[in-house]
Amino acid sequence: MELHPTSVLLILSCFMVASYAHNVHLSTLNQSLIVSDSATPGQVLKAGVDTLTITWAYNTNLTVSDANYTTIEAKLCYAPLSQTGRDDRKTDDNLDFDKTCPFDITNGTYKRANNTFIWTIPKDTPSATYFVRVFVINAKNHEIAYGQTTNDQKTTNLFQVDGVVSEQKGSGAWSVIGNSFGYRYAWLLMLVIIL
């Protein structure tokens, strides 16, 4: 059987997609960061105008080791209130499929304490209710711990963004498609048809 260049390309893209699948579940991570933000509960922040100050630190009361903590990624996350009826914002314990936190706030080297970031809410942020979550990443680029500004039920310390758009656009939408189950199987199906 001859291997068509298109098939090679498809096989390659299959591996590229697969490399993002790392099967980490949020419920298995230690909540070892204390994260807070400057918003008062229920505050409405204007997209493109207002800033949010985010601070985070290792919870020194825990016995969890931070030896393998390499980098952090702070993300803006939808509160349950803004997820109802929206499959494109759905929470999944498997982080490969989770769509709770589609917006990057900042990333950088892990530091135990004294972390502050002042973030101007981007203009294109959808109007919704949010919280902030900070993930800790290890050297293998896997999430190994986190902290968030809200409680486990995601009901406290929420804030609102008053944005111009109500729909997710651009790169945000692409990452949702890229991470979806259906996308991977579509590639597989195309391979089966071609080979």
Ligand X SMILES: *[C@@H]1O[C@H](CO)[C@@H](O)[C@H](O)[C@H]1NC(C)=O
Binding site for ligand X (CB under 6 A): 28-30, 34, 59, 61, 63-65, 67-68, 73, 104, 107, 111-114, 144
Phi first, then psi: give them for residue 31, nearest 5 degrees: -90, 75
First to last CA, the chain: 8
DSSP state for residue 112 in the 8-state scheme: S
In angstroms, give the least distance from the CB of 182 to ligand X: 24
In angstroms, give the least distance from the CB of 171 to ligand X: 10
Write the CB contacts of 103 (distance below 8 Å, at least 6 apart in sequence).
Answer: 75, 76, 77, 122, 125, 172
In angstroms, give the least distance from the CB of 177 to ligand X: 18
Residue 126's closest CA among 110, 103, 108, 144?
103
In angstroms, give the least distance from the CB of 163 to ligand X: 20
Nearer of residues 160 and 176 to ligand X, judged by Cβ: 176
Residue 178's closest CA among 11, 3, 17, 68?
17
Nearer of residues 65 and 153 to ligand X, judged by Cβ: 65
Nearer of residues 127 and 175 to ligand X, judged by Cβ: 175
Nearer of residues 64 and 191 to ligand X, judged by Cβ: 64
